[in-house]
Amino acid sequence: MTKPGTISVTKPVSEELPREKFDELEKFIDSMETTKGVLIEILHKAQDIFGYLPRDVQLYIARKLGIPGAEVFGVVSFYSYFTTKPRGKHTISVCMGTACFVRGADKIIEKLKEKLGIESNEITEDGLFTLKDVRCIGACGLAPVVMVGDKVYGRVKEEELDEIINTYKNQEVTL
């Protein structure tokens, strides 16, 4: 049974998502001058609203645009920016490109796994962090590179990881 204030998009219900978020997404889609060629833009907005793109949201978008659900899923699964799983509040991305790998990115990510108690693409128990290994951030001259959200940390050393993590933990305490 759907809780008040939530919307069920598919049957059987796999999860319940807040109706207000669907209303916000619908308003955004309806504001588009055309629905041709705007799927990626809509997916970005949906991920901003929901934090991720669960199956129900993908199907909702497909129905609103009048396209097959498989087309939406194809785009979501092709681009690494999109995620079908919830993420932590802060995403820590470790560049594993050639320059970063040669300069110790493998050791950096292993140390982060140990410190956070998670593997790549997992969320910490407190919901604060998701850890990702990415192919290239495009800051090779700063290798090894770690990004937290949009902030780039260059020439990262293992002993700096606690300070980086604590920066974001401390933000939560002061909010």
Give 99-146 pLDDT, tens digit per residue.
Answer: 999 999 999 999 999 999 999 999 999 999 999 999 899 999 999 999
Q: Which helix (H) or strand (E) holds 174?
A: helix 161-174
Whether the Cβ atoms of residue 65 and residue 54 lie closer than 8 Å to each other: no
E strand or H helix at 95:
strand 90-95
**28: Cβ contacts below 8 Å, ≥ 6 apart:** 42, 45, 49
Residue 12: asked if its preceding bond is cis (omega within 30°), the reply is yes
* Rounded Cα distance, 131 and 136, in Å: 15
Distance of CA 165 to the CA centre of its chain: 18
Instruction: Report the CATH fold assignment for 90-174.
Output: Glutaredoxin (3.40.30)
pLDDT for residue 81:
80
Secondary structure of residue 135 in the 3-state scheme: coil
The pLDDT tens digits of the residues spanning 83-107 come to 998 999 999 999 999 999 999 999 9
- Classify domain 6-78 by CATH architecture: Orthogonal Bundle (1.10)
Burial 53-75 (b: 16+ CB within 10 A, else e): bbbbbbebbbebbeeeeeebbeb
Tens-digit pLDDT profile for residues 9-43: 443 333 578 999 999 999 999 999 988 889 999 99
Where exactly are the structural domains of the chain? 6-78, 90-174
Q: Cβ(64)–Cβ(29) under 8 Å?
A: yes
d(CA 84, CA 171): 26
Q: Select from 71, 65, 25 the least CA-distant residue to 48.
A: 25
pTM for the model stands at: 0.70
Would you give the DSSP letter of residue 90? E
